[in-house]
A and B are shown apart, each in its own frame.
Chain A
Amino acid sequence: MPVTKTPDGLSEEITPGHPLIHLLQIKTRIFLADFRGFIRKLKHHPSALIGALLIILFLVVAFFAPAVAPHDPFVGELSERLIAPSWLEGGVSQYILGTDQQGRDLLSRIIYGARISLWVGFISVTISVLIGTLLGAAAGYFRGKLDLFLSRTADLLLAFPFLIFAVAVMSFLGPGLINLILALTFKGWVEFFRLVRGEMLSEKTKEYVEAAKANGQSNLRIILSEVLPNIIHTIIVLGTLRMGFFIIMEASLSFLGLGIQPPDPAWGSMVNEGRQFMLNAWWLSTFPGAAILVLVLSINLFGEGLRDILDPRLKIE
C-alpha cells in the first residue's frame, strides 16, 4: 500500500476511537500538523518569540535546577549573610546575586523558586481547564437546569475578588503547595467555564453539529470530537494567559505568608522575607520580584502572541 503524503508532511490520518482517545489524537495531530506553520508565524511575531524563548529558559533552568544552581538553596553560612551582589561593593564572585539573611545563595534560591512558580501555575491551570471545559461544554450543550445551576455558581464565584477569595480559602485550608493549588482552582475554573460555555452556545447552532446528529453521533461524541477541536485554540490562549495570573496569585499568597512556607524558596515569600532588609540589602526582595515580573511578562507576551497566531481572523504573515 503506497503511503500518501499530505501537504503538511503527515503520512497517516488519525483513527477515531473512543471519544477521549480521539480527542487526544486530534490534539496531538493538530499540534503536530500546525507546528511548523506555528513556528514560522512565531518568527514573525517578535514579542511572542521573546516570550517563548524566555519561557523555555525558565523551564530549562527549573528542570535542571540541581545542575544549574551554584549552591544549595537551603543551606547557608551565617558568617556569609547579607553579601551584596557580585558587581557591587562588598560583593563576592561566588554569590552572583548575593546572599540572604541566613547566608543562602540568592541566585540558587531564585532558580529553585522557578520550579514552584511554574508547577503551581501549570497544575492549577491544567485542573482549571479540565474542570471549566468539562462543565462549560456540558452547560452550553445541554442547557436546562444544569446550565442554570452552573452559571449561577460561576456568577457567585465571580462576585468575589480573586485574591480575597484565595486568601479566605487558604486561611481555611492552611498553607501548603496542594492547598495553594486547590485555592487557585477553586475559582480558577470559572473563566474557562464561561469561555467554553459561550463558545459551545455559538458552535452548537452551526450546521455541522446538526449534521453530526443526522449522522448518528452521540452527544458525548459530538461535544468531544466535533465541537471541542473547533474551540480548543481559544482555550489554549486563555490557559496561557491565566497561567501568568495564577503565578502572580501564588506569589501574592506566598508573600502574605499563606502560600508556600519557608524554607521552601517561593518567590513571593522571598520578597516578603527580604522586606525587612529593604534598606541595607535591597537585592533580597528585588531579584525575586524581578523574576516574577519577567516570568509573568514572558507568559503574557507569549499568550497574546498565541492569540494572534491561532486566531484565524487575525492572519499575520
Chain B
Amino acid sequence: MLEIKNLAMAFETERGLVRAVNKVDLSVAEGEVMGIVGESGCGKSVTLLNILGLVPHPGKVLSGEIMFQGEDLLKKSKKEMRDIRGKDIAMIFQDPMTTLNPVFRIGEQIRESMRIHGLFKDVKGGFFKSARKHAEKDRAVELMEEVGIPSPETRYHNFPHEFSGGMQQRALIAIGLSCKPKLLLADEPTTALDVTIQAQILALMQKINQEHGAGIILVTHDLGVAAEFCHKIAVMYAGRIVEQGRTEQVMDNPHHPYTQGLLRSIPKMSSKKDRIEPIPGGVPDLAELKEECAFYPRCAKAHDKCLSQEVPMFDAGEGHTVRCYLYG
C-alpha cells in the first residue's frame, strides 16, 4: 500500500546539507504494522513527516518516491496532499497535551477532521446543516466510545485540559480514525505517557489495526514496544535503515552490530549483571556524514572495507536485510 523507494532528504543549513533521511526503502502492506526504531535524531520522525509532505522549512527532498496506493505522494499538489492528510493517512503525535488545541472542546476537534474532509457532505437537511452536524456528532461519540473514553456523551463537551494524558491520546486516536484512514502514522505515541497507560494505548492501536485493517507505522525508540506491537521492524541509524525484517527476525536474530548493541543495552530482569552494556561513542553529526558506514566509529566488528564505500543492503534470507559487510 505504501512504498518508500530510495527516499533522501536533507536540511539546508549554514553548515551544509544535513542528511536526515538517506536512501530509505520502506514498505507497508495493508493492515501491516511497521516499526521504525532508532535513537533520537536518527531521522525516524522526519521520515513520517515526509510521507505527509510536512517537512519543516529548510528541509528538501533530494530523491526518491513515496508510492501510496499506486501514486507518488511527492508529485502531488498542495491541495491534493491536504485531501490525503487526515483522510487517507492520519498522524498521531507524541505529546497529546500540546497536540490538542486548548481552546476547543474535544468533540469539536474530532468532528473538525470529518468536516474538513466532507465525510458527511451528502447528509442534507435542517437549518444550518443541523442534520450533518448531528451525523458528525454521532460518529464522534461513537469514535470516542470505540477508543475507550468513558461516558463519551458528556466528555464530548470537555476541553483538552479536563482530560488525563491517556484520555487525550485516546481522543487524538479518535481524531486520527475519524475519516477511516488506510494508514496511521504514530510518532512515539506512548512516550509522553506512563507505563500502564502506554500498554493500554498500544492495546487500543492493536485493536484498531485488527478491526479496521489500517496499516500503521509506529516510530519509537522503545524496542520493547516495537517488539510487542509490530509485524515488521526497521532499525534506523544516522538517516539510514541499517536492518529491516519481520519482528522475530530482527529481535531474535539481530544481524547488524548496531541492532545487537541496542538489544544488549536493554536492562533484563533475568540478567545478574549490575550494569547494562551501552554502545560506546555517540551519534554522528549528520552534517558530516560520508558515504561510508556511519556506525563505523562505534562498531566492534568494523574493518577497513566499511570505510571504502557505501555499504549496500544485503539479504540475510527471508526478506531480512542488513546494511553490513558481515553479511555480504
| Chain A residues in the interface with B (C-beta under 8 A) | 1, 4, 6-7, 10, 13-16, 26, 30, 206-208, 210-218, 221, 226, 229-230
B39 at the interface (CB under 8 A from A): no
Q: Say yes or no: B93 contacts A230, CB within 8 Å.
A: no
Contacting A at CB under 8 A, from B69-92, are 81-87, 90-91
* Bound: A13/B102 CA distance, A: 16
Cα–Cα distance between A230 and B101 once the two chains are bound (Å): 8
Question: Are the CB atoms of B112 and A30 closer together than 8 Å?
Answer: no
Contact B157 A4, beta carbon cutoff 8 Å: yes
Give the contact-size bracket for chain B: 35 or more
- Does B153 interact with chain A (Cβ within 8 Å)? yes
Q: How many angstroms between the C-alpha atoms of A240 and B132 in the bound complex?
A: 38
* Residue of A with least CB distance to B161: A312
What residue of chain B has the Cβ atom nearest to residue A143's Cβ?
A: B57
Chain B residues contacting A215 (CB-CB under 8 Å) are 85-86, 90-91, 112-113, 116, 175
**Residues of B with C-beta under 8 A to A217:** 82, 86, 116
Chain B residues closer than 8 Å to A214, beta-carbon distance? 52, 54, 85-86, 90-91, 93
> For window 103-136 of chain B, which residues contact chain A by CB distance below 8 Å?
103-105, 107-108, 111-113, 115-117, 128-130, 133-134
Query: Would you give the shortest CB distance from B295 to chain A, in whole angstroms?
Result: 31
Binding site for A on B (CB under 8 A): 52, 54, 81-87, 90-91, 93-95, 98-105, 107-108, 111-113, 115-117, 128-130, 133-134, 137, 153-154, 156-157, 172, 175
Chain A residue with minimal CB distance to B79? Answer: A218
The CA of A212 and the CA of B291, in the complex, are separated in Å by: 37
B217 CB to nearest A CB, Å: 13
Q: Which residues of A contact B154 (CB under 8 A)?
A: 4
> A251 vs B154: C-alpha distance in the bound complex, in angstroms?
52
The 8 A-B pairs of least Cβ separation, nearest first, read A215-B86, A216-B85, A216-B86, A6-B157, A214-B91, A207-B98, A207-B99, A208-B101
Closest beta carbon of chain A to B47's beta carbon, Å: 14
A-B contact pairs, 24 of them (CB 8 A): A4-B153, A6-B157, A10-B157, A15-B129, A15-B130, A16-B112, A26-B103, A207-B93, A208-B101, A212-B101, A213-B85, A215-B85, A215-B86, A215-B90, A215-B91, A215-B113, A216-B86, A216-B87, A216-B113, A217-B82, A217-B86, A218-B82, A229-B101, A230-B103
Tell me which residues across on chain A come within 8 A of B86, comparing CB atoms. 214-217
Q: Contacts A208-B99, A214-B93, A215-B113 known; list 6 others, CB within 8 Å.
A: A16-B111, A30-B103, A208-B98, A214-B52, A217-B86, A218-B82
Whether B102 lies near A211 (C-beta < 8 A) is no
**Bound CA–CA A14/B103 (angstroms):** 13
Which residue from chain A places its CB closest to the CB of B175 in the assembled complex? Answer: A215
Q: Which residue of B lies closest to A227 (CB)?
A: B101
Q: How far is the CA of A55 from the CA of B36 in the complex (A)?
A: 61
Q: Would you call B102 and A230 a contact (CB within 8 A)? A: yes
Given contacts A4-B154, A4-B156, A207-B95, contact A229 B103 (CB under 8 A): yes
List the A residue with the shortest CB-CB distance to B172.
A211
Determine whether the beta carbon of A13 is less than 8 Å from that of B137.
Answer: yes
* Residue of chain B at shortest CB distance from A7: B157
Complex contact A15–B90 (CB within 8 A): no
Determine the distance from Cα of A218 to Cα of B82 in the docked complex, in whole angstroms: 7
Interface centre among A10, A16, A210, A215 (most CB of B within 10 A): A215
User: Beyond A4-B153, A210-B93, A213-B54, is A16–B115 a contact (Cβ under 8 Å)?
Assistant: yes
Nearest Cβ on chain A to B79's Cβ, whole angstroms: 9
CB distance from B155 to the nearest CB of A (A): 11
